[in-house]
């Protein structure tokens, strides 16, 4: 993963590191797609949604009336920025995981008087545009973007050595992992940020399917386009011949697992190739493309504790749709 240096050399360093990061990402994308189409059930990890087009479509999703998550989390952040800042204290380096457009970041940066900002995202071009915008808004703040997969080991820029840290993981992106992967990631964040660090994390809550399904299957079809863009991406980047119009977007609430599932369902028997390898999918069969797990308040706190993060503050909206938790990395005590 590519950590990027000081302001003077940042752009050149990003360009240099991007070549390596990109070719590693290309290989990982190819491997995940070929394995995912060969396995049963067919499934491709959700992180591959985010090429430039996918990141733009996600931004469109955040503005949909049905997609309550973004505006709710933003309203919680605005309402409680001062409380959050008094619990974190000033002068921390803010490290954001899956920063995307960094649209919510100014709310945090303005409140916590950070010493530096480190946005991490797999969607490189989009990350660079977001950083350029933030540099305009916070001209004195050192910004060190990292293009890469936050599921892999992460080395923070040397400039952050000895600086206290605040992790920021908004948007309920943690919900796109199953519980073991979520705990692994939270533990890795603990290791990366270090004991005494804080983590501000947004986690979407369990609620009726009548609210959840439209949030993931909106009337304008933007989420459908976001999901189908994965097939376009496979065709573009992996020499695929997938007939995209033969697939439809499906969003399901799986109550047992407490998750929204997104699938791409074949509307007829199809055969195609990817990277020269043949595949066939029968009518009605799906490719599972995303899980979005939802958590009750106690579940969310347990998840954090399981990875060594002790909740020290929690905020929600009036309807209790979404939870924002501030947690502290404490040494994990021996039982009991
Ligand atoms: N934090 C923003 C964006 C959420 S969308 C918000 O709250 O609105 C999820 C973001 O995480 C996308 O920008 C995507 O590119 C990024 N992402 C998803 N999986 C990732 C991974 N494994 N490593 C790094 N970034 C990832
Ligand atoms: C980024 N992530 C938390 C979004 C979610 O709600 O699971 C991605 C998304 N998928 C469909 N709509 C939005």
Q: What is the DSSP string of 214-234?
A: HHHS-TT-HHHHHHHHHHHHH
pLDDT tens digits, one per residue of 137-188: 999 999 999 999 999 888 999 999 999 999 999 999 999 999 999 999 999 9
The pTM score is 0.94
Enter the tokens of residue 262.
């997104």
Nearest ligand 1 atom to the CA of 171 is: 7
Least confident of 159-163, 258-262, 266-270: 159-163
| Cα separations in angstroms, 115 against 35, 89, 219 | 42, 11, 43
Q: Compute the average pLDDT of residues 42-66.
A: 98
The band of 332, judged by pLDDT with boundaries at 50, 70 and 90, is confident
Q: Is 121 close to ligand 2, i.e. is its CB under 6 Å away?
A: no
Which ligand neighbours the alpha carbon of 224 most closely? 2
Residue of 335 and 283 predicted with greater confidence: 283
Q: Is residue 164 within 8 Å of residue 92, measured between CB atoms?
A: yes
Residue carrying the six token digits 């947004």: 202
Residue 170 has a CB neighbour count (10 Å cut-off) of 28
In the reported structure, the alpha carbon of residue 33 is separated from the centroid of ligand 1 by a whole-number distance in angstroms of: 19
Q: Compute the average pLDDT of residues 195-199.
A: 98
Query: What's the rounded Cα separation, in Å, for the pair 34 and 270?
Result: 16
Which ligand neighbours the alpha carbon of 122 most closely? 1
Question: 291, 292, 301, 307: which is closest to 324 by C-alpha?
Answer: 301
Mark 127-148 as b/e (b = at least 16 C-beta within 10 Å): bbebbeebeeebeebbbbbbbb
Q: Compute the average pLDDT of residues 60-82.
A: 98
Q: Is 170 close to ligand 1, i.e. is its CB under 6 Å away?
A: yes
pLDDT tens digits, one per residue of 20-36: 666 878 899 999 999 99
Contacts 24+ apart (CB under 8 A), 297-304: 297/205, 297/323, 299/258, 300/203, 300/205, 300/325, 301/325, 303/174, 303/179, 303/182, 303/183, 303/186, 303/203, 304/186, 304/199, 304/201
In the reported structure, the alpha carbon of residue 173 is separated from the centroid of ligand 2 by a whole-number distance in angstroms of: 7
Q: Is 100 close to ligand 1, i.e. is its CB under 6 Å away?
A: yes
Q: What is the CA radius of gyration of the chain?
A: 20
Alpha helices in 206-324 (DSSP H): 209-216, 222-237, 297-306
Query: What's the rounded Cα separation, in Å, for the pair 3 and 303?
Result: 28
pLDDT for position 138:
98
Give the distance from CA 146 to its chain's centroid: 14
The band of 193, judged by pLDDT with boundaries at 50, 70 and 90, is very high
Nearest ligand 1 atom to the CA of 50 is: 15
Nearest ligand 2 atom to the CA of 174 is: 3
């Amino acid at each position: 993963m590519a950590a990027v240096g000081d302001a003077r050399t940042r752009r050149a360093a990003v360009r240099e590191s991007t070549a390596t990061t990109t070719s590693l990402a290309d290989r990982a994308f190819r491997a995940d797609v070929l394995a995912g189409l060969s396995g049963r059930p067919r499934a491709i990890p959700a992180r591959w949604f985010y090429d430039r087009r996918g990141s733009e479509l996600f931004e469109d999703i955040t503005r949909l009336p049905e997609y309550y998550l973004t505006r709710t989390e933003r309203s919680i952040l605005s309402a409680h920025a001062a409380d959050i800042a008094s619990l974190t204290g000033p002068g921390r380096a803010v490290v954001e995981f899956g920063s995307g457009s960094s649209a919510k970041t100014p709310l945090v940066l303005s409140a916590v008087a950070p010493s530096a900002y480190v946005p991490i995202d797999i969607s490189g071009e989009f990350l660079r545009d977001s950083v350029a915008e933030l540099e305009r808004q916070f001209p004195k703040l050192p910004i060190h973007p990292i293009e890469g997969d936050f599921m892999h080991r992460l080395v923070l820029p040397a400039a952050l050595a000895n600086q206290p840290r605040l992790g920021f993981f908004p948007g309920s992106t943690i919900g796109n992992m199953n519980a073991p992967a979520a705990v692994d990631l939270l533990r890795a964040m603990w290791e990366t940020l270090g004991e005494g660090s804080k983590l501000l994390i947004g986690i979407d809550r369990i609620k009726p399917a009548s609210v959840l399904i439209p949030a993931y299957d909106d009337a304008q079809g933007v989420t459908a386009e976001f999901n189908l863009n994965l097939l376009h991406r496979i065709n573009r980047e992996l020499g695929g011949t997938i007939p995209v119009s033969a697939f439809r977007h499906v969003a399901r609430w799986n109550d047992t697992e407490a998750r929204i599932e997104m699938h791409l369902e074949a509307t007829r028997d199809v055969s195609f190739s990817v990277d020269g390898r043949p595949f066939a999918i029968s009518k009605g069969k799906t490719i599972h493309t995303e899980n979005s797990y939802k958590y009750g308040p106690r579940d969310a706190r347990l998840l954090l504790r399981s990875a060594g993060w002790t909740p020290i503050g929690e905020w929600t909206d009036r309807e209790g749709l979404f939870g924002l938790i501030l947690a502290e990395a404490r040494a994990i005590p021996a039982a009991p």
